[in-house]
A and B are shown apart, each in its own frame.
Chain A
């Protein structure tokens, strides 16, 4: 019975005697009476393995497999089966963060490859070893901008930001004396004039935009980086990783920090995570970057070796001065992305992007032809778009679900549809047929 319990009654007694309390209640005396749990724990009787399986199978069967046309930050791209197979190797799956880093050459090696590929994808100088997810990567970029600036604490955030990212930014800003100013949405995009006007007010550490933005629109950021740099503010771009294979990169836009979620690089949607965040920056900002960086060098025998090259000191000492206290990364999912990128190669990534683009534009055209839909904003989009619907949108959404289709993300006036390379013409036509009714 006590096999899985670390402490026996005797252990507890001995420890309580040692610290001088009579019972456990006395030990918890500091916890206010009114918030202490007083009832009995209603734990069910122990179940057999068979019974546990039955319970979970029943729960699992409540899930419905839908054809996914939803996105808004998480996309139903294909996962080559070699990835989960490789990742399930116990060397990868069960290893914890390498404390004595250089002993774990294999881990450092794949992190190095990950970093190299992410810098290529984003067009930036430096990548760290990864972050928890896209939203926290963006929040870390916000803190980095404030840390890199001199006595400035305001960050401008596009109004076309994914609401989930925005919520995380607000949470991180709350107790760090960071002021977030949301820029107005102008016909579905961020306006350079608004950015300039807000920058001119002074005190701005950074400007955060999203590409493609929350409506799927590919924004033109000409002049943004220059406007930021004139006022000594950092230009931060939050992009869907996979889309950077064909879109102009943050590096090309002159961004100082590039962040985003790596889920689109072959990680299944898996009920919301785990995903992986990426963070890249210019060489100038390397000391302000949270996390760690792996480098390649030679050992004393002239052999190729990987080392933990840089980690901001403040993360271990002088912690009160740190940009961030994050010391870890999302290694297994970074490996996932690394295997995906290696498998797909530049051509494969482009093909995925082109198929997704073509599918989304075909769906959009067909929906417009029904006469029930209009584009919310007449702006270029990639694989996701916002359409208004002239009928009862909730009823249509439910009709699609009944037909086995997840009909995008419901927005106020209609739907945000996303298409990936996984969606076939037949699936798209089926959606349009139901939507045309």
Chain B
């Protein structure tokens, strides 16, 4: 069973968002990590790039698939997790610990469009069937 953490926001494309003040920490969920298998490359944006809610900001490539990363919220990238450049497998070790980007959020009302832990758990349950 994939791990889901209370207090985070979740998107239907399996990204999580952790809110700290006006900063959103974005990564892929444990469910997504398991579905992808061994991650071999993470294509990340650069600091100061703009991201848009629902729009692609990068990609995760695993040995069996490659999938787009969609931003749960709009904003400006303030930090990218450079550790993933040399060690993309960190995402498999702990997807919640190893976030991908940090974004300065521009519209907090967008959070309302995201799922909470319970809703996401139910969503994954449904996807699995």
5 closest Cβ contacts across the A-B interface?
A: A313-B66, A313-B61, A318-B66, A150-B49, A317-B66
Query: Given A150-B46, A150-B49, A287 and B65 touching (CB < 8 A)?
Result: no
Contact residue among B43, B46, B49 (Cβ-Cβ distance under 8 Å from A287):
B43
Q: Does A220 contact B (CB under 8 A)?
A: no
Number of CB contacts from chain A to chain B under 8 A: 15
- Cα A150 to Cα B68 with chains together (Å): 16
Query: Given A287-B41, A287-B43, A317 and B65 touching (CB < 8 A)?
Result: yes
- Cα A314 to Cα B56 with chains together (Å): 15
Q: Does B45 contact A (CB under 8 A)?
A: yes
Contact, CB under 8 Å: A314 / B66: yes
- Cα A119 to Cα B46 with chains together (Å): 28
- Cα A150 to Cα B45 with chains together (Å): 9
| A-chain residues with CB within 8 Å of residue B46 when the two chains form the complex | 150
Q: Chain B interface (Cβ within 8 Å of chain A)? A: 41, 43, 45-46, 49, 59, 61, 65-66, 68
Label chain A's interface by main secondary structure: helix
Contacts A150-B46, A287-B41, A321-B68 aside, 5 further interface pairs with beta carbons under 8 A come to: A313-B61, A313-B66, A317-B65, A317-B66, A318-B66
| A-chain residues with CB within 8 Å of residue B49 when the two chains form the complex | 150
Closest CB of chain B to A373's CB: distance in Å? 52
| A-chain residues with CB within 8 Å of residue B66 when the two chains form the complex | 313-314, 317-318
Q: Please name the residue on chain A nearest to B62 by beta carbon.
A: A313
| A-chain residues with CB within 8 Å of residue B41 when the two chains form the complex | 287
Within A309-344, which residues are at the interface with B (CB < 8 Å)?
A: 313-314, 317-318, 321
Within A279-331, which residues are at the interface with B (CB < 8 Å)?
A: 287, 313-314, 317-318, 321
| B-chain residues with CB within 8 Å of residue A321 when the two chains form the complex | 59, 68
Hey, what's the 0/1 contact readout for A194-227 against B, CB within 8 Å counting as 1? 0000000000000000000000000000000000
- Cα A150 to Cα B49 with chains together (Å): 8
| A-chain residues with CB within 8 Å of residue B61 when the two chains form the complex | 313
Q: Please name the residue on chain A nearest to B66 by beta carbon.
A: A313
- Cα A247 to Cα B70 with chains together (Å): 46
Listed A/B pairs (12) with beta-carbon separation below 8 Å: A150-B45, A150-B46, A150-B49, A287-B43, A313-B66, A314-B66, A317-B65, A317-B66, A318-B59, A318-B68, A321-B59, A321-B68
- Cα A250 to Cα B65 with chains together (Å): 35
- Cα A317 to Cα B41 with chains together (Å): 15
| A-chain residues with CB within 8 Å of residue B65 when the two chains form the complex | 317
- Cα A318 to Cα B43 with chains together (Å): 14
- Cα A278 to Cα B43 with chains together (Å): 26
- Cα A287 to Cα B61 with chains together (Å): 11
- Cα A317 to Cα B66 with chains together (Å): 8
Closest CB of chain B to A149's CB: distance in Å? 11
Closest CB of chain B to A199's CB: distance in Å? 18
- Cα A324 to Cα B51 with chains together (Å): 24
- Cα A317 to Cα B45 with chains together (Å): 21
| B-chain residues with CB within 8 Å of residue A314 when the two chains form the complex | 66
| B-chain residues with CB within 8 Å of residue A287 when the two chains form the complex | 41, 43
- Cα A313 to Cα B46 with chains together (Å): 21
